[in-house]
Amino acid sequence: MGIKPDMLNIYKMCDVSIKFNLPIVRDSGAIEYVTAFRAQHKHHRLPVKGGTRYAPNMDLEETEALASLMTFKCAVVGIPYGGAKGGIQIDPKKYSRKELEMLTRRYTHELWRKTFIGPAIDVPGPDMGTGSREMAWMCDEFTTLAGHKEIHAQGCCTGKPISLGGIRGRTESTGFGVFVTTRELVNDIELMKEYDIEPGLKGKRVIVQGFGNVGMWAARYMVNHGAVLVGVVEREGSISCENGIDPEKLANYREKNKTILNFPGATSYPDSDQAFYLPCDILIPAATEKSINLHNASRIRARIIAEGANGPTTVAAEKILLDNRVLVLPDLLCNSGGVTCSYFEWLKNLGHISPGKLLKRWEEKKNMRLIEVIAGKLIGNELELSDLDKVGIRGPDEQDVVLSGLEEILGSAYLDVRKLAKERKITLRMAAYVSGLEKINEVYENAGFYSS
């Protein structure tokens, strides 16, 4: 790579990390202290960006490791952020809504006191155990604290509800990113030929581990573009169907029954991840870390693994997969749709206007004039307004702009990583890390170091 060893050591370390305790008065009246964290990996780009996790096994070491991954992920896709991560060491299922709100607001207050949150400093987002509800509380608390002195206060965090400055398309963004990068991969004719895989998504058998937000949306987009969902793995068990599972119907079934088991037309495996090891073309681990490890990697019968979760494949497991000629699309690239969409939300908050709003009607009128010139004069008929959606003339709304931007950024990032992998004869994962490191190093080399 041409990066000096001393610089590589600098890139390994977190610039700043904090650990602090938060008091909470439980609904029972008991007073409890919980531990909280926030780590900012690198300040070469500001603000830093990373999720807020509520998990009982969270610690400072894990927080710093996840913050470093965010730095590399942002660098790979060209998002101008440093990496960060934070959260509270609790099991959110054991706390009431009132208690969670109190904790989230106190956590935000402490971050604000320590200058660890702000649209130009550090922009948290949702992560495991948190969602738009927690981000709404965080945004409201920061806005109250900052007052009139911070006009861009809504940009203090992302993943918010639409009413508080959130952006349409955020819900499906990570799953959509998995779909886009996987589509680019299977359309790579040269790479598919190397692995003796038929190019294109059409007819590809897909298995998803984790039918949450990421897995469900990835499955939807895959199926809509010709793939066949043949298996789903969840905590309570797994299901399979060689003829295909409708992801939308399964999502509705799970919402109603609180389980994927006994889904009509599918074979169920209670308390078993048996479907995880069935033959398929594309396996999407979209649940937790280390789901593919030394103990089960040899049982994987997929041709391609598209990592929808963070760190689902261990180092030892990847060696086994590579020896078995399994192609791995790394998480650093594959699941970066979420942070990319968060970037769009942050830009919306700074600009105080929805993407596409200024140009939507202009685009419609321009396209209508074009159609009138071409079609109207040829057939002598005027188009009805109701026909606009059918012929794709209607101007783009916020979600259209977001998904289009995701396609452009993630598609281009895949091509960059693939080119690097080909030139240096390395894996896609290694190429993603090399790409990120070289971009980070370029910033430091150009900016220099301050010393008093």
Residue 381, class by beta-carbon neighbours within 10 Å (0-12 exposed, 13-18 middle, 19+ buried)? exposed
Instruction: Give catalytic residue positions.
Output: 85
pLDDT of residue 401: 87
Q: What three-state secondary structure class fits 329?
A: strand
Task: Write down the residue that tokens 């259209």 correspond to.
Answer: 400
- % the chain with pLDDT above 70: 93
Q: Is residue 266 a contact partner of residue 245, using CB atoms and an 8 Å limit? A: yes
What is the C-alpha to C-alpha distance for residues 300 and 179, in angstroms, rounded to an integer?
A: 21
Q: What three-state secondary structure class fits 407?
A: helix
pLDDT digits (tens, 9 = 90+) for 347-381: 999 998 888 777 777 777 777 777 766 665 555 55
**Radius of gyration of the CA atoms of the chain, in A:** 23
Task: Write down the residue that tokens 């927080």 correspond to.
Answer: 63
Q: What three-state secondary structure class fits 440?
A: helix
pLDDT digits (tens, 9 = 90+) for 266-319: 999 998 889 999 999 999 999 888 899 999 999 999 999 999 998 899 999 999
Measure the N-to-C terminal CA separation of the chain; round to a whole number of Å. 30
Report residue 49 as tokens.
Answer: 């960006």
Q: 40: which strand partners?
A: 16, 84
| Long-range Cβ contact pairs of 401-406 (< 8 A, separation 24 or more) | 401/355, 401/356, 402/167, 402/168, 402/169, 402/170, 402/173, 402/341, 402/344, 402/355, 403/169, 403/176, 405/340, 405/344, 405/355, 406/169, 406/173, 406/176, 406/177, 406/180, 406/337, 406/340, 406/341
Q: What is the mean pLDDT of residues 47-69?
A: 94
**pTM to 2 decimal places:** 0.89
SS3 content of the chain, % helix, strand, coil (to 5): 50, 15, 35
